[in-house]
Structure 1
Amino acid sequence: MSSPSLFDPIRLGAIHAPNRILMAPLTRGRGTQQHVPTPMMIDYYAQRASAGLIITEATGISQEGLGWPFAPGIWTDEMVEAWKPVTDAVHGKGGRIMIQLWHMGRIVHPDFLNGAPPVSASATTAPDMAHTYEGKKPYAEARPLEVSEIPRLLEDYAHATRNAMRAGFDGVQIHAANGYLIDEFLRDSSNLRTDEYGGSPENRVRLLREVTQVVVGEAGADRTAVRLSPNGETQGVIDSNPASVFGVAAQALDALGIAFLELREPGPGGTFGATDQPRQSPLIRQHFKGPLVLNSDYDKARAQADLDSGLADAIAFGRPFIANPDLPERLSLDAPLADSPMATWYSQGPEGYIDYPALAKTDA
């Protein structure tokens, strides 16, 4: 039996994707300063509806969890109403769209919290500088999340999930990667706790498991996904023995029967987060039996090779989707891919956002 191609359909829980080219989450900063989605976002996502599945930009579950200028949220009715035309437009083009739920943990600058410190697994400080509405500022030391606060955090995830389903999304992906809150609990460089949420891999996986259980309870396991970044350092977060913790995480997520698991795995030559830590996908593949989606610096050939080997079931492409709204068609035709200037990745206007033409219009 031959291996699937990138252009073959795949079932991701309740979602029937017509191809295996997923659109990875991409922060773009086109919401309002109050984190409400804007009409421009309707066009942006609708233009990319040919993806097997769109995973939206990371979207805040609460004000506590959102510290990126002009990033959208999903915790108020106004946000829900602003997301509805986005999902309607994608569905109108025959597409499927899942929202990524985000709590940024210690990456939230106090400017977003009326001066209060951010929360994290432990009292640590992120490296580099935070993006704020007043420019870049040093990160502040986080305060450890109290065990007594966990139920409130879980309710924030449940509330955001209910709102996402009200807004018409086909499912939700839990952002548990890239040095944000759940990742800060998972990895030992940022989790210095000695209670039931720290220490052993089983304890460090506890918050991920509890969040996923809550989301599954609201959306259904077949409409819930998770994103992990098991290898390398991201925003100061790394693990000294990733195989020990991510094997346990994969087992926990497999037991919950989620729709798919996505891994961001940069290599030694990666453009973002290059690392010599080995990819954990072969180990995770042993423990997670559902669809496995891989991401980071893929081109068509490497993507197909990982499908051929059985390592991946689908591939999530990120930056190529910025300047190539019709990426699946371009890949199928081996057409050249346009590049996107970094200067417009996070700017607020339509330039570099909704003005990239599809292939047919390019050739006209």
Structure 2
Amino acid sequence: MKRTLENIEKQFETFQILNEQGEIVNEEAMPDLSDDDLKEIMRRMVYTRILDQRSIALNRQGRLGFYAPTAGQEASQLGSHYALEQDDFILPGYRDVPQLIWQGLPLYKAYLFSKGHYIGNQMPEEVKAVSPQIIIGAQITQAAGVGLGFKKRGEKTIAITYTGDGGASQGDFYEGVNFAGAFGAQTVFVVQNNQYAISVPSEKQTAAQTIAQKAVAAGIEGIQVDGMDVLAVYAATKEARERAINGEGPTLIETLTYRYGPHTMAGDDPTRYRTEDTDNEWEQKDPIVRFRKYLESKDLWSEEEENEVIEKAKEEIKAAIKEADNTAKQKVTDLMDIMYEELPQNLQEQREEYAEKESK
């Protein structure tokens, strides 16, 4: 049994295309991306890093509510998203707001989501996604169902869902991947292993050497990817998507990544469970720095272009937070109205009471 396990674990070597120096180390796996595609991916990564920095500042000013930092995970989030088609359906976790924004969610709505405003949970019709899931792992079983629905309809579309390494410790994770495997759902499961869940190291969450190998028990494909390498993440997700729509079943993708900030801005202190040496080690793997080196070696990126992206991000963020701030505050009666088509008598009486209070 021990030899069997060791043989399985040997099959899950980390997939990488771009090393930490920005050099291609796996030419055969290089995805078919144009120069414009490469530059667009970089624009999105830089924009998202600025978005994260400004969102943290806004949170500290009391202008946002719940916020989960994303710096360090841009390659994992945006590399996988760039491999999708517009009609693919996203079921995100609470750290995965960037994918929704690049899917078409207006930025001001992303800020309203953070504020807990119901409008922030209203997806535009063209945005194929649900609101970020706060319950850890709950989106995984939902994604299995959505992917099965696409299969039964005969649609060349997938469901993709995201969670962290902590989510892979939940019962929903095992139920979701097992269900998807049993019924051949058109689903891609992305576990962004940022090493610590909230504060517990990965090695204390599971005896498995990788999260990717858990695909074996579900009878589905699994792969571990360098989550700081945007090209590797893109290539792995693209292949997983093609397999799903061609009837070859779901895939579990584990991206090895790192969040540079706290778990959330709600009081988490990462210095209590992470060392300075560990932080420095992962900073040397920064996905933006790595990809910048690669693009500069191809004369595809410059400091001037990056500054343009940064300034554009700042302007759009400023406008978005202003729009969010100017949105009418939600009322108790609003919550009642959007919850029920027809209010029960007892709630109708309560609504009248609140409506009277709100009118003053």
* TM-score normalized with structure 1 length: 0.32
More helix by share: 2
Task: Name the larger-Rg structure.
Answer: 2
Q: Which has the higher strand share?
A: 1
TM-score, normalising length from structure 2? 0.33
